[in-house]
């Protein structure tokens, strides 16, 4: 299995920058590289995609260090400042980095429409994929003038936020747009980990070859009990029979 959505949160070795955007995890929500390796090995997960946490902003050092130690197991979705277009080429040429992340729910400064359009097109033209954490309405707005290239919607496209299912249905029609089955516990609430009509409908909007799975480990900023990793694995299999691992391998590692 390939987990396409994990975060490294290690404030002792990699302190959180002052004035960072979004949610600042508490000490009990940390997840170091050693912790992650243990979780992956325990659950038979061979590879993972390290996704930039908004608290670190454009600082990707923890993920780059992890890749340097385990280049066979990891790929990186990097953080970036959308006003720093020059950083795109640098990231695209950095070993291990396969994409960049826009977190429009945590960092409102990234929602400048004109700059966002320039940034998206430059990133896609460089060969990087773009992952988006946003409401369906914000994602649709961001993609309106986007060129070709892979775009991944984090956390089921957040159908619980502004725009909802109708907007997601429109976004799903864009070629090369992928849905990440992650963060289901954030959307399902008390129904977790049971599948729901909402999640089934979202997943059904996308062809099976454009579905990937991510755990969202180490499960920060939850109002309810944090899920178990095994629950996240089992949950995805109830929603689709897609070959998540092969899809992720083709997207992030290239076809075998």
Count of domains for the chain: 1
Hey, what are 34's tokens? 């050693």
pLDDT at 158 over 60: yes
Task: Give tens-digit pLDDT for 66-122.
Answer: 999 999 999 999 999 888 889 999 999 999 999 999 888 765 555 567 778 888 899
- Strand pairing category for 47-51 and 97-103: unpaired
Which contiguous run of DSSP H or E holds residue 181?
A: strand 177-181
Tens digits of per-residue pLDDT, 21-75?
Answer: 778 888 889 999 999 999 999 999 999 999 999 999 999 999 999 999 999 999 9
Number of alpha helices (DSSP H) and beta strands (DSSP E) in the chain: 10, 8
How far is residue 201's CA from residue 34's CA, in Å, rounded to a whole number? 37
Is the pLDDT score of 124 beyond 90?
yes
pLDDT for 194 beyond 80: no
Q: How far is it, in rounded angstroms, from Cα 247 to Cα 95? A: 21
Confidence of residue 256 (pLDDT cuts 50, 70, 90): very low
Q: How many angstroms separate the CA atoms of 210 and 188, rounded? A: 22
Q: Is 222 exposed, middle or buried (0-12, 13-18, 19+ CB in 10 A)?
A: middle
Range of the domain at 134: 2-253
CATH of the domain at 92: 3.20.20.140
Q: Rounded to a whole number, what is the distance in angstroms from the first to the last CA of the chain?
A: 15
Strand order in the sheet with 177-181: 2-6, 47-51, 74-78, 97-103, 129-133, 151-153, 177-181, 211-213
Predicted confidence at residue 200, as pLDDT, reads: 87
Residue length of the chain:
256
User: How far is it, in rounded angstroms, from Cα 124 to Cα 213?
Assistant: 22
Q: For residue 159, give the nearest of 183, 175, 176 by alpha carbon.
A: 183
CB-based contact 217:36 (threshold 8 Å): yes
Q: What is the pLDDT of residue 82?
A: 84
Q: Which residue has the higher pLDDT, 19 or 195?
A: 19
Q: HSE (CB half, 13 Å, CA atoms) of 42?
A: 10
Q: What is the pTM of this model?
A: 0.94
Residues 6+ apart with CB under 8 A from 73: 40, 46, 47, 48
Distance CA 78, CA 252 (A): 13
């Amino acid at each position: 299995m390939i987990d396409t959505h994990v975060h490294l949160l290690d404030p002792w070795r990699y302190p959180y920058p002052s004035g960072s955007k979004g949610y600042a995890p508490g000490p009990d929500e940390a997840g170091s590289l050693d912790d992650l390796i243990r979780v992956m090995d325990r659950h038979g997960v061979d590879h993972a995609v390290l996704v930039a946490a908004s608290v670190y902003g454009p600082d990707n050092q923890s993920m780059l260090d992890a890749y340097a130690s385990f280049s066979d197991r990891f790929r990186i979705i990097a953080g970036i400042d959308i006003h720093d277009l020059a950083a795109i080429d640098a990231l695209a040429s950095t070993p291990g980095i396969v994409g960049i992340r826009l977190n429009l729910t945590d960092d409102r400064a990234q929602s400048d429409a004109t700059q966002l359009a320039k940034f998206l097109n430059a990133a896609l033209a460089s060969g990087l994929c773009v992952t988006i954490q946003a409401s369906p309405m914000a994602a649709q707005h961001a993609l309106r003038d986007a060129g070709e290239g892979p775009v991944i919607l984090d956390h089921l496209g957040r159908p619980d936020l502004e725009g909802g299912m109708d907007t997601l249905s429109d976004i799903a029609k864009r070629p090369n747009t992928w849905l990440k089955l992650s963060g289901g516990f954030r959307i399902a609430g008390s129904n977790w980990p049971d599948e729901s009509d909402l999640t089934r409908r979202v997943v059904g909007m996308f062809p099976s070859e454009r579905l990937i799975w991510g755990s969202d480990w180490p499960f920060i900023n939850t109002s309810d009990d944090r899920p178990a990793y095994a629950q996240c694995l089992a949950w995805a299999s109830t929603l689709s029979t897609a070959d998540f691992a092969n899809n992720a391998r083709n997207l992030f590692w290239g076809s075998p």
